[in-house]
Chains A and B, each alone.
Chain A
Amino acid sequence: MDYQFPQQLFPSFYNCGPPNSVLKHCAGNWGSYDGVRPQCDLDSSSSWTFTPRHRTRGEIWRHTEPAPVPLLSPRDNPSLWPLEPPDPLKFTEHMENFFTDYCHDAFGCMGDILGENFNFKHGNKARHPKDSVNMSKMIKYLDLLKFKTCPVAHYSRPLHQYRAMLSDVVHDIPPQLLGSLLHEELAEQRERLLFCESNTGGALAFVPFSEPSSEASQQGCLLYPGKQGLHCLNFHKVDLQYHREGPSFLDASSSTPFSFQLKGPIRQIGYSSLFNECCVAVRSHYFCGVWRFSETNEPRLLQVVNTKELATCISVSPHVLGEVLVASESGAAHLWTVGKGMQKVRAEDGNLYFNAKSSWTWCEFSAHPRVMLYADRTGVELTDIRVSPASGHTLFRISSSSDCRRGERLILAKYLGDSHAFHHLITTQYSAYIMDERFPCVPMLKWDHMMQYPPAFCHVVPGFAYGTAGETRTTKVLLGSQCAQEITMLQYSGGRAEACVSLDAPQALLRPKDSLIHLPVQIAHRHETATNRLSSPAAGLSCIQKKAGGGSGAGECLCILQLTEAGDIFYQILEPEQPDSDASGLPAAAGETQPQRMVKEAATSGRKISNSQLVVTSSDEDIVGPTQCVHRVVAETPERKQEEQDTDYYSEDSESGSRIRNLKRLHLQVVVNEDPELDQESRPDVGVTEHEGDNADEHRIEGEIGSGTSSLNPGQQQTPAKLSNNALVTWKHWLQKLMRKSRQKKSRPHHPQLFSISTKGLLQLSSKKGNSSEKTRVEKLRQHLKSCMSARSLLVHSTVSDTLGAAKVVPFPNPVDTDAWTDPLSQRLTLSWQGEEAWRAWWEDELGLNKESKAQALRRKRRKEKDARRAAGNRLELSGSFTSSISSQSELSDFSDLSGWSSAASQASWSDVEDRGVLSQLARDLKRGTATPSTIQSDTPVSTPAATPQYKPHEPETPSTSHTLSVSQSTPIRQRRDKSQAEDYLNSLFAPQVDQSQNDFLEMDSTMHAPPSSSNVASFSQLRSSQSAPRSSIRVGSSRDVFVSESPSQSQSFSQSSQGRQGLSQSSQPRKKKSRMGF
């Protein structure tokens, strides 16, 4: 009797101004009645009763499971969804990523132009013009920038200078522009993630089939988008199986979906059915399509239209099949008669009532087939489309007449033809309104829905009369938001002879993103993947209503389906609380209950909650009897039992069942995390069927659980704190499948890589000599090396001679003619070979510290000579006195030991590359501290604080480049380079011998003595050697080796020359003159 209008409405003020009330608290409309209406019983005039506008008690619907259950198995690769909406202020991070990931786009043009002038490569000089700047040092620094480094420690002055010089020209896109664009984009993305306008209405629909096949089931067709990007429209027959005592679930396995591939993502699915024929309208961004199907006929595409503007709404006529309303962003609404074309019925330039800065429009049908609703963010108009300049009158507007709040905007309008022919649901971000189109402007009902995000989806479950006593079910309004996946259920009744009355407080339903806490614990990265997937925003909401079969209301349930943007569908089943269980659950009326006392005292002062009360906190039970202490005792056992069963179940398909059983004793839940590969049996594609295979096990478990829970109080049993086994199994398979899918496609790592040395090139055997005997020999050598290291001994030739064969006797390189080098540096260097004492003596000589002692010694000597002369009458050479300062014999033997080692290494016939490999391995081992200290360590400084740059194959240590040293030096540049190379060699030659104490000394010296004016090459090179020694340890080690093994002649010549010079200096240069110098 929809044509009846309520005889009396609730009193309220009407004021058509702009809204000005402000939300001040988060309690909404809790606790208030919102007005009453008197009713007079006609038979006895004295009995007046009152009806409140908001009735405090409504129907109580309980969840059958504590978490929603996935309907389908995850199909496509999960893409990572940002859990948090992006912060527009973090655009700099995105710029960084762009510069590193797409450097060619970011710096391409200027890079090409400037590139010719910079030489970032060693060696191949020919390609670059002569005046190009060598950036080989810079490249090392730049390589380091890939890692997280300390900006203070790693500071490059030249880079800083280049930045100052070039920073405004190297960008292809000016960074200011890029930054502002990125900020804008991120802000938009954030907004879209928080609320996606185009998804309004939701892309999930359920079309019930008229005749239920059996008492316990409700069949219908589920329409949902599938595949990646929601491009595929699926028609899927599903069957809701509901048993009050047994398992109830939604079965999607009985048939395969009938799908259509579309060209764009599906944004909205609308349908209406008349006489069992169903018309389905689908909206994508720029096209709309209409399908037709029925229970017996397969879905058939009727027509598709392209829209010039972005379509914002599609709605199917509930009156005439094949009439569809399409609204677009331009503000136009079209009536599309399928097969006949579109007819523009309304066009609007701006917003209806005030400028809301939004081009979103919406349209719906109304009770009259030729009157439609035209809505935007500011309000709703009823438009008669028969008259050509379509005129409208206001149905709803944001104003104080409907108690709107400041800033309130309309989100969604929906015609509730199924529940009441004249009712419309209008939602804003704060409230939900029921409007009666016969009484425009004033809402019949208003709720504060208390959702955090605007409700963009809704589904209305019409109320109906049931039973014999004329009981009626309330009409339920389900509202869903996108971002937070909230679903809120509101109940109301009336609207016909009686005025609308809302019942109960809004009830929040379960969200998929909260379901992980009800599942066994996941290991971290899986948890992350699952959380990501589960918290993707909602994209649709629907509901399956299963009415009671037997008229008693026993088999009634609601199955609420929710679609997420990842393409998953989750469902939760609600069942009404039975009146009989209500009665049994009621505590004895005598005495007041705990909660009451608590609330009472809440008004006065707080009170500590005793332990016994805390036990029941997790239950949804609102009725707690005086027997709750008993509950606590009883509840322990079945719960533990179930836990054991759970673990038992999971251990069945794991290989190491005994291990898990052991763990079970420790009360650890390892369960779902076992490898999905372990149960690789081919699973059917649809998730729900998966537990069908395990039926036998489940039955056993259910039986046990049944017996376990039978001892529970019925009131406790009604609100499950734990997932049922069916649901657990479904969840388990869903998660496993998700993990398998996610493994297939790894996303780009988000975390910065750890700084590591690439050893790929180092460990490669050269392909030329890579025969098997070589390999085995190398293997043996490695073993020797290892054993030596573990024994803390040197790897000398004698130990490896059997694998390497007889050592080729290399002639001892020509000794350096120390006399040829007479400068003080060469002198000192020559002397330093003889040990520290000799070196110190030289210094003392040089600085004249031992003048007196020398004089004394000389005097003594002369005296002795005199004596001897006197005695023997012979004449001896004076010059022999200088050799007295030669170092002791023991130090010399040390050096000979070292040279023995190096010669053994040099005599090995390894290739240079191999050599390097072994050494670098050694160095790495040393660095890691795995190798035990040995005598080798004294040669290679272990204390390398800074990391060593990795080897490049074209480093100058290769034999070919070292060979160039011996050829004639032609160009001045090359000469300079060679000279620096020679210096390098020199350094490398000395570095191993610089032991710790000497090093310290040198450093100390350098800080003490090195004046800025000092231009002495020798001092500079030594300074450098002391500084660079720790950094280039590997290089030093190998280069020396190279030096010794590959080009013995040069080393010879160097040592010769240095010795020669020393000799020269010794003989010719005056000592006093040098005393001022640092060294």
Chain B
Amino acid sequence: MDDLERELGPLVDLEDDNNSSDDNSTKRQKRNSLFVLNPMCAEASGETGAHQTQTVCLKKIREAMLHHRWQEAAEYMACFPQMLENRSASQHYKELLWRMCTEILHHFPNSTMEDYMNIYERMKHSGVKHYLMICLEHSFHLLLHGRIQDAKQQLTAAESWRYGHESAAQLHRSKLIQAYRSLLDYIVWCDKKATNSENNHLDCNNDDQGMHNYFRQASVNLQEILKNPGIWDPFILSYVDMLEFYEDHEEARNVLNNYAYDSSFPPNPNAHVYLYQYLKRHHAPEKKLMKVLKILHVLVPSHELMLEYSSLLLHSEKQSDIEKALGVLLEMLDFACWRSNLDVWRSLKAVILKLQIQTDWQNAVGKKMADRKDWWPTLHFTSFHASKDSVENPELWEVKASLTKILCPDRNLKYSTEQETNDGEKHQASETLAKKSI
């Protein structure tokens, strides 16, 4: 536990040493560590003349931008870069300038592509450190405006860019650039696929060759990025799509399994969903599907797929699976978002009906309900719920009412009472609440 702290300690000092504009007060602030003093907005003690003006100007711009006074910010911005030329402008100032300029442009209604181009290109070439980041953002900007080809060019150019020592962040960024470029390759591949299917195999060979080239280009980089822990939903989907087209099921399953079960990856529910969907598409046996869903159930008991899981369990032969299904459904109903969902209550009823065939069904239900019995009634079966459900969803009310006695047999619940006049209900409801809270 202390490792992190130890690691944090000396780094802070290093940082202080590096940052020459920090005076004593900011150092003290940093020790306190909860107060942010923005390094560039903090006025250094020895600042005079142009530097001071610059700091003040920067403050003004920031203030205006934070209050969304874009016009004012733009006016100050017009003065700012001039002053920037005085200083042996550091990288941070360039990044700052780029960020502020683009943000202001974002908020002007008539900003054109040329304006953006101007800023992106200029700032891109003003410093090596931010080249990759600005390239990436530039390509995003192009993508958002539907210029996929231009974006691809940008990314290809950035891909081939090399400059000396690469920091970890730059390494990540170059990998991202490759991955995005491959994503665009995939899009081209998709387009080609679509045109191919339309053209009904005319010039089949030629286009196939082109498509295959794109696939090869894309797969190299996508494979590469999928080795790094992270969230790669769009990338893996496109990769698997291509692999499926070329019927490389082995690789596809490998990739998806790895994405879902590699412990170095974050516990992404989507990874399991993709695997499940893939298996389902390829008609995998139910046992395999249930295995995937079982793991997903542990991770996200409230997931949509739990409905499918419960139905799978319900239709399986094993006796214990019905109890499992009961558990899955009850757990879903714990969550606020499923509480008034008719489907879950219906499947719960179905499970219980099937369970009731067994002899010791009451025991099984009681076991599942044991740790819920003190809070489930107030969560589901108060007269408030009754009145609300009966008005909004009578069908749900019916299903719930039929289950109250089974789920909470030893409690006298107000849920199943007949619909009364509003006043009477309210009165009773407040009684229930009062009882509960006292």
Contacts and interface: CB of A to CB of B under 8 A. Distances in A.
B38 interface: yes
B36 A452 contact: yes
Contact of A353 (B4, B137, B378): B4
B230 A14 contact: yes
Contacts of A318: 336
Interface in B10-55: 11-12, 15, 30, 32-41
Contacts of B63: 508
Interface in A341-368: 350-351, 353-356, 367-368
A505 B65 contact: yes
B80 A26 contact: no
A871 interface: no
17 contacts: A5-B273, A7-B233, A25-B39, A27-B100, A36-B143, A38-B183, A38-B238, A45-B191, A194-B34, A319-B379, A354-B4, A429-B36, A454-B34, A505-B66, A508-B66, A602-B77, A604-B81
B294 interface: no
Nearest to B374: A337
A623 B33 CA distance: 40
A40 B186 CA distance: 12
Contact of A438 (B34, B187, B300): B300
Interface string B71-85: 110110111111100
A600 B12 CA distance: 38
Given A587-B110, A592-B112, A195 B35 contact: yes
A400 to B, nearest CB: 10
B101 A438 contact: no
A274 B92 CA distance: 50
| Chain A: number of interface residues, binned into ranges | 35 or more
B78 A11 contact: no
A504 to B, nearest CB: 8
Interface in A378-425: 386, 398, 401, 406-407, 409, 411, 417, 421-422
A105 interface: no
B107 A57 contact: yes
A725 B72 CA distance: 26
A322 B144 CA distance: 49
Interface string A3-38: 111111111111100101111111111111101111
Given A30-B103, A38-B187, A606 B79 contact: yes
A418 B17 CA distance: 46
A3 B110 contact: no
A596 B69 contact: no
A162 interface: no
9 closest A-B pairs by beta carbon, nearest first, are: A31-B102, A606-B82, A26-B38, A56-B106, A354-B4, A2-B337, A30-B103, A27-B99, A508-B66
A12 B337 contact: no
A62 to B, nearest CB: 9
A339 B438 contact: yes
A8 B37 CA distance: 36
A365 to B, nearest CB: 10
Interface stretch (A118-126, A439-447, A843-851): A439-447
Nearest to A600: B115
Interface string B380-409: 000010001000000000000000000000
B35 A429 contact: yes
A655 interface: no
B3 interface: yes
B401 to A, nearest CB: 18
A653 interface: no
Nearest to B123: A603
B78 A609 contact: yes
Nearest to A356: B5
B2 A603 contact: no
B228 interface: yes
Given A10-B231, A275-B388, A33 B71 contact: no
A48 B2 contact: no
A593 interface: yes
B205 interface: no
A598 B8 CA distance: 43
Contacts of A321: 378, 433, 436-437
A60 B103 CA distance: 15
Contacts of A492: none
Nearest to A44: B194
B16 to A, nearest CB: 10
A205 B140 CA distance: 41
Contacts of A320: 375, 378-379
B110 A30 contact: no
Contacts of A274: 384
A369 interface: yes
Nearest to A441: B266
Interface stretch (A611-619, A698-706, A742-750, A984-992): A611-619
Given A3-B304, A12-B230, A603-B118, 10 more contacts: A3-B302, A26-B39, A60-B68, A321-B378, A323-B375, A407-B33, A438-B303, A441-B266, A507-B67, A600-B118
Given A25-B92, A599-B108, A350 B1 contact: yes
Contact of A30 (B34, B37, B65, B436): B65
B8 A586 contact: no
B335 interface: yes
Nearest to A436: B269
B56 interface: no
Contacts of A600: 115, 118
Interface string B118-149: 11001100000000010001001101101010
B100 A31 contact: yes
B179 interface: yes
Contacts of A302: 437-438
Contacts of B143: 36, 50
B148 A601 contact: no
A29 B111 CA distance: 20
B137 A32 contact: yes
A33 B109 contact: no
B270 interface: yes
Contacts of A191: 32
